[in-house]
Chains A and B, each alone.
Chain A
Amino acid sequence: MHTLPQQLANGLFLGSMYGLIAIGYTMVYGIVQLINFAHGEIFMTGAFGALTVWTNLPDGTSIWVGLPLMLIGGAIVSVLIAIGAERFAYRPLRNAPRLAPLITAIGLSLALQQAIFVWYPGADNAKTFPQLGTHPYHIGSVDIQRNDIFLVAAAVVCMIGLAAFVRTSRTGRAMQATAQDPDTAQLMGIDTNRIIVIAFAIGGLFAAVAGVASGLKYGQISYNMGFQAGLKAFTAAVLGGIGNIYGAMLGGLVLGIAEACASAYIANIPGMEQLGGQGWSNVWAFVLLIVVLLVRPQGLLGERVADRA
């Protein structure tokens, strides 16, 4: 068990990324009750946007100079795609049966993936992404990569910023009102269309940060990176209570840590040798989801309103 601190740290880093992406699912769901399955691809396009910025910077540019520009570039791409998806794919279906926007989301997800695969130069294989050096810091028995520090710092800053925005700003309070009751909110003079666009934009922004963090952490990005990450983030959002932004982050962290511990330790339990290891981490992640939903159907931090949970 002496590897426990390291494995917890591994889970924490992974979970921060899930959490950042999960924010996008949960915000959109909280306001329009739509599961935006194209969100994983918005995360992916953010990473490609950032890479495009990096490749167009002059050779020899320091990553510390490039990183802010990459974040801006990635954010522009992700936010534009998220808003475009809302405007052209989801808004026309706002009053359609719920299945219609869901299928649209899947179609959009495939379209974005294939578009990058076909049109981004060299994207048929994984593309290398710059990293913040690969020498870890040693803290006790734990190794921490600089890229992971960026990830955690980004997650913390984004969460604090989002919490402050939602609680204190006028727009934030309008978002809360729209989530609680869109019709009444509209009657009170809130432009719900604008609120919905903002929800998509914030989701896209967080996805772009996660996309850059993922590129830094793994040193590569690929056209299909959004599929699995999106699925896990969606799980995290449901685990934490979909519709609740703190729940999304908490769900991400719980999921990441559970995955890390499951793949590290379940094989050590006598009689469970065959059910442990990295290959089973997804299975245990979903077992956790099922157990939590059986005990707390609204998710860890979900509201008790049946319609919202």
Chain B
Amino acid sequence: MRHRSLLLVTSVLATGALTLTACGSRSDDSKKSDGGGSSASNTTLTIGVDAPLTGQNSATGLGLQYGVQIAVDDANAKKLVPGVTFKVEALDDKALPATGQQNATQLVQDNNVIGAVGPLNSGVATSMQQVFATANMVEISPANTNPALTQGEKWASGTKTRPFKTYFRTATTDANQGGFAADYAYNTAKKKDAFVVDDKQTYGAGLAGIFKQKFAALGGKIAGTDHVNTGDTDYSTLVTKIKNSHADLLYYGGQYDEAQLITKQLKAAGVNIPLMGGDGIFSDTYIKVAGKASEGDLATSVGVPVTTLPAAQNFIKTYKAKKYPGDYGTYGGYSYDAATAIINAVKTVMDANGGKLPAMNDARAKVVDAVQKADFDGIAGHVSFDQYGDTTNKQLTVYQVKNGKWVAVKSGTYNG
């Protein structure tokens, strides 16, 4: 019987694994039409959006969607591209790579879609890049921070190669974020002993690795390192280790789901050192769940707070007036700029073609080239891309929890 029950357990685990990866089939509602016609009278072009719109991360995902919506509405109202009306088609990836890939496929099959903004998660981006590259369609992410997406897997050793020429981003990378955090921790917060923990995921491990390297390079001491599993709830052994290492800062590369538990258990054990993380923990949920334990914790995030940008005031006003759901604070401005980059590129392509839109396949390829040459002032800063598709705007901000709120304590640019 023992063998039989073990066999059953194995089949159970296999079934579980299958359930996790099961993909819901999505009805293909792509509208087939000859949107690539050369008529300049009035063409409608779609800008696709892919982000998590339900479930975890959805607040930020909705901020991304409506950031694009406002950019498109503004462009239509100002008739930025004469003869073209833009519209938005937003698809929900639920933060799942498989769903993101389906969405990408759906967007490239739709002959009215000229380009896409998204996704939110670096892990999802990996599954989508190839689809857009094959279709020669531009994809601009306002939120992905993993350096490998633009600089290739070997970016850390200095061999940077751009894997996909259709992929761009308006957010800067973790290479800068980790360095900026190390600089703040060592030079501004005067922390000398850092304990570095990551969650072994693409984002977290990458970020923690960069922080560790830069912090040590500045002269800081690494009091210890450890890795955790996503989904763990008990960090008591880790907390005991940190306590005995006498570190004065805990750097955590990962998401708020684990960070909020770690900070709570750390403070409960009487270790009153701040937890510092990246944009993965920069969330109101982190403060809400960790409560008082989060007080004094630090997070870096890309860009500067949208509310402090003079150029973004109209954007915020519109967002609030239309009562759009979601959180535009972190990526809303970048989403607006990403959509604007695509709209401007369409204009460039049409101007070069005598005011007409070329056939769709050709138009998509030309828009990619035009985005590469983008050079304008967006609402979140100057928009232009380097040879890897990364933004040249390397602004970052350090936030700290003060009285139960994230407060910006230092903004700046980081250039290695």
Contacts and interface: CB of A to CB of B under 8 A. Distances in A.
A95 interface: no
Interface of B: 1-2, 4-5, 8-9, 11-12, 15-16, 19, 55-56, 58, 200, 225-229, 231-238, 240-241, 244, 257, 260-261, 264-265, 267-270, 285, 288-289, 291, 293
Given A10-B234, A35-B5, 7 more contacts: A7-B240, A35-B12, A260-B237, A263-B237, A277-B225, A278-B229, A278-B232
A188 to B, nearest CB: 24
A291 interface: no
A211 B40 CA distance: 64
Given A35-B5, A106-B15, A278-B228, A218 B261 contact: yes
Contact of B260 (A3, A102, A214, A220): A220
Interface string A186-203: 000000000000000000
Interface residues of A, number: 49
The 6 closest A-B pairs by CB, nearest first: A279-B227, A10-B236, A134-B268, A277-B226, A263-B237, A278-B228
A98 B12 CA distance: 12
Interface string A275-309: 00111111000000000000001100000001101
25 contacts: A3-B240, A6-B240, A10-B236, A14-B234, A35-B5, A35-B9, A35-B12, A99-B8, A124-B56, A125-B288, A126-B260, A128-B288, A134-B267, A143-B270, A218-B234, A220-B261, A225-B233, A260-B236, A260-B237, A263-B238, A264-B240, A277-B226, A278-B238, A298-B2, A306-B2
A57 interface: no
Nearest to A17: B234
B185 to A, nearest CB: 22
Nearest to B240: A6
Contacts of A277: 225-227
B260 A136 contact: no
B8 A124 contact: no
B98 to A, nearest CB: 17
Contacts of A214: 233
B219 to A, nearest CB: 24
Nearest to A274: B227
A10 B233 CA distance: 13
Contacts of B244: 2-3
A182 interface: no
Given A218-B261, A277-B227, A136 B268 contact: yes
A126 B232 CA distance: 13
Contacts of B234: 10, 14, 218
Most buried by A among B55, B236, B265, B288: B236
B261 A10 contact: no
A264 B264 contact: no
Contacts of A218: 233-234, 261, 264-265
A168 to B, nearest CB: 30
A154 interface: no
A269 B305 CA distance: 46
Contacts of A260: 236-237
B298 to A, nearest CB: 21
Given A35-B9, A263-B238, A128 B289 contact: yes
Contacts of B200: 279
A244 interface: no
Given A7-B237, A126-B289, A278-B238, A219 B264 contact: yes
B270 A136 contact: yes
Contacts of B55: 124
Given A228-B232, A282-B229, A126 B240 contact: no
Contacts of B265: 218
Contact of B241 (A102, A264, A282): A264
Contact of B237 (A35, A126, A278, A307): A278
A279 B240 contact: no
A98 B268 CA distance: 46
Contacts of B9: 35
Contacts of B233: 214, 218, 225, 228-229
Contacts of B16: 106
A90 interface: no
Contact of A143 (B58, B261, B269): B269
Contacts of B289: 125-128, 220
B22 to A, nearest CB: 11
B285 A125 contact: yes
Contacts of A143: 269-270
Nearest to A147: B268
Nearest to B58: A124
Contacts of A89: none
Given A102-B12, A106-B16, A14 B236 contact: yes
Looking at B15, B228, B234, B238, which has the most chain A CB atoms within 10 Å of its CB?
B234
A269 to B, nearest CB: 15
A78 interface: no
A178 interface: no
A227 B270 CA distance: 30
A145 interface: yes
A276 to B, nearest CB: 9
A134 B265 CA distance: 9
Interface string A110-140: 1000000000000011111000001010000
A228 B1 CA distance: 26
Given A134-B267, A143-B269, A278-B229, A126 B236 contact: no
A54 interface: no
Interface string A29-55: 000000101000000000000000000
Contact of B229 (A6, A102, A127, A279): A279
